[in-house]
Amino acid sequence: MVIAHNEKDVDLLARLIRAEAEGDGELGMLMVGNTGVNRVRADCLDFKDIRSINDMVFQRPGGFEATIKGYFYQRARDSEKRLARRTIKGERFHPATNSLWFFRPEGTCPAQWYDQWNSGRFKAHCFYSPTASDCPTVF
| Residue 54 confidence (pLDDT) | 96
- Would you say residue 14 lies in a domain? yes
In angstroms, the CA 15 to CA 30 distance is: 12
| Residue 70 confidence (pLDDT) | 77
Angle at 19 between CA 15 and CA 24, to 5 degrees: 120
- Would you say residue 37 lies in a domain? yes
38: pLDDT confidence band, cut at 50, 70 and 90?
very high
| Residue 52 confidence (pLDDT) | 97
Average pLDDT over residues 88-101: 97
Phi, psi angles (nearest 5°) of residue 103: -155, 170
In angstroms, the CA 118 to CA 130 distance is: 9
- Would you say residue 26 lies in a domain? yes
Q: Could you tell me if 78 and 110 are in contact, meaning their C-beta atoms sit under 8 angstroms apart? A: no
We report the CATH number of the domain holding residue 53 as: 1.10.10.2520
Long-range contacts: 68-75, Cβ < 8 Å, 24+?
A: 69/19, 71/18, 71/19, 72/15, 72/16, 72/19, 73/15, 74/15, 74/18, 74/19, 75/15
Positive or negative CA dihedral for 56, 52, 125, 94? positive
- Would you say residue 12 lies in a domain? yes
- Would you say residue 2 lies in a domain? no
pTM of the shown model: 0.96
| Residue 138 confidence (pLDDT) | 94
| Residue 63 confidence (pLDDT) | 83
- Would you say residue 53 lies in a domain? yes
Find the domain containing 16 and state its range.
7-138
In angstroms, the CA 76 to CA 99 distance is: 24
Average pLDDT over residues 93-112: 96
Q: State how many domains the chain has.
A: 1
DSSP type of residue 1: -
Average pLDDT over residues 72-82: 95
- Would you say residue 96 lies in a domain? yes
Positive or negative CA dihedral for 34, 93, 139, 125? negative
